Structure 1
């Protein structure tokens, strides 16, 4: 684990693996952005597939895992996107593809809006342009999310079959390596996110993925997101829920194909 200095001086923990990490065969760098209050370890099951083709950068959101919290004022989705810039700078990367899941997708939107010159292709998974004009989760689902334990959240993220066959992976997904205070700041940042009016400014090739049984972020949000981003593609995953990215090999293959179709050797999207 290495550390990148954020704009307010907080140290953001990041790591690099896979192709060109640091001296192997070149591979376009990819940044994976985890969901709300989840450490970068949530991506671990996908690293072999991504690392075979790409230099993969993962990092802990500030206040989570190995990253320092820094100033409370930095807990907005737009400010959290600046931490991605810090990580890229520390890794010596000019441009990268970005894949954000859930709240990580909300942060990725601001990165795409404000730092188009640093972005290759963009994948937004199980996310929304903001709650104010998006479709919100039901009260029972919100209560389950507030409890935060694997028993409550597991069925919201994964199918019953996956929970039965991967109990350790499911349990690890709901370890929250942060304080209650940071969890509240992250929740407030995600809730306040509103990028709808700015999404048409995203020029990067964009793929939006969503499970059609997602009750945490209802799938209509993904459709609306794709409609607001110029030329975005939308993929719906039948029967899958909020944690589709760990459950679906098809989704991983789709993302890898999308990045391969938009290599970084061309100029950034205008």
Structure 2
């Protein structure tokens, strides 16, 4: 059963969740921008029999945001991937975890980069999925994609988002655009202010010149058909992180790790904790 708790970090308290055997290898899961731990609801059950899985709700999301609301405390810190990585380190330390495998997706992959750079002692192995190095080394989504995501037409925005994350086959299997699961599309309870702060967190990330400092064995994964965070970013990361391995899912889009969860999660689990 999933257990919840809170951890004191600089200027705030963050909510964390754990699931799986306490004596199993620790696996920290880092979700995408403007999302809570619910991002992992499809993937986590595939890991919790083999790993002690750990998540936390970023500032502004999930139970962390509710804690802030209950106390009336205003988190005025300058949020960044470095700060969220420091929050991750606090959570691991509070749970008594000396080192963990780290699996970060999208913005969570950017946070994972910062954690591996700043706290190599805490990161035993690293998986970066559908993410970028940031800065000039990153390839951003096209102007056409940005305009479609910003459309005043709600239905167009939904269809665009779904198509950026999932294949048409997945959409059809779930009954069409209006009935697809939306747990990767942002925390619906998040305030507009905090959602904007998260957008800046992602946009400001730039680890390119420091990625050579990552010492943990690293697997880089991406959907080959991803245009939300273009797949060429996987190649860029592979060139910047020493000894890293790059793997592309041939038909996957930005949510490939969720749509093809069984295949992708097996790859992750076998990389971070080989059975042979």
Same fold (TM over 0.5): yes
Residue 61 (str. 1) matches residue 36 (str. 2): no
Are the structure 2 counterparts of residues 252 and 4 from structure 1 closer, same or farther at C-alpha, using a change threshold of 3 Å? same
Q: CA deviation at 1:91?
A: 1.5
Point out where structure 1 has 5 or more consecutive residues left out of the alignment: 21-25, 264-270
Query: Is contact 1:205-1:262 (8 Å) kept?
Result: no
CA distance in 2, matches of 1:196, 1:132: 8
Aligned length: 257
**1:72 touches 1:185 (CA, 8 Å); kept in 2?**
no
Offset, 1:90: 2.1
CA displacement, residues 157-213 of structure 1 (integer Å, 9 cap, x when unaligned): 000111222365632322423111111111111111100000000000000000000
Paired position in structure 2 for 1:89: 93
Question: Cα 1:3–1:58, aligned 2, differ >3 Å: closer, same or farther?
Answer: same
Q: Does 1:19 align with 2:21?
A: yes
- Structure 2 partner of 1:215: 227
Of residues 85, 99, 102, the one that matches 1:98 is 102
- Match for residue 71 of structure 1? 75
Q: Taking structure 1 as reference, are residues 89 and 181 closer, same or farther at Cα in structure 2, changes over 3 Å only?
A: same
Which residue of structure 1 aligns with residue 181 of structure 2?
A: 170
Counterpart check, 1:29 vs 2:31? no
Cα deviation for residue 261 of structure 1 reads 2.9
- SS at 1:124 equivalent: strand
What TM-score results when the alignment is normalised by the length of structure 1?
0.90
Q: Indicate the RMSD between aligned Cα atoms, in angstroms.
A: 1.9
1:19 partner SS: coil
Deviation at 1:7, TM superposition (A): 1.5
Instruction: Choose 31-40 or 129-138, whichever is displaced more.
Output: 129-138
Which residue of 1 is the match for residue 210 of structure 2? 198
Counterparts of 2:108 and 2:141 in 1: how far apart (Å)? 18
Q: Deviations 1:7-32 (Å, cap 9, x if unpaired)? A: 12x11111100122xxxxx2101010
Larger deviation: 227-236 or 90-99?
90-99
Shift of residue 6, structure 1, vs aligned partner: 1.1
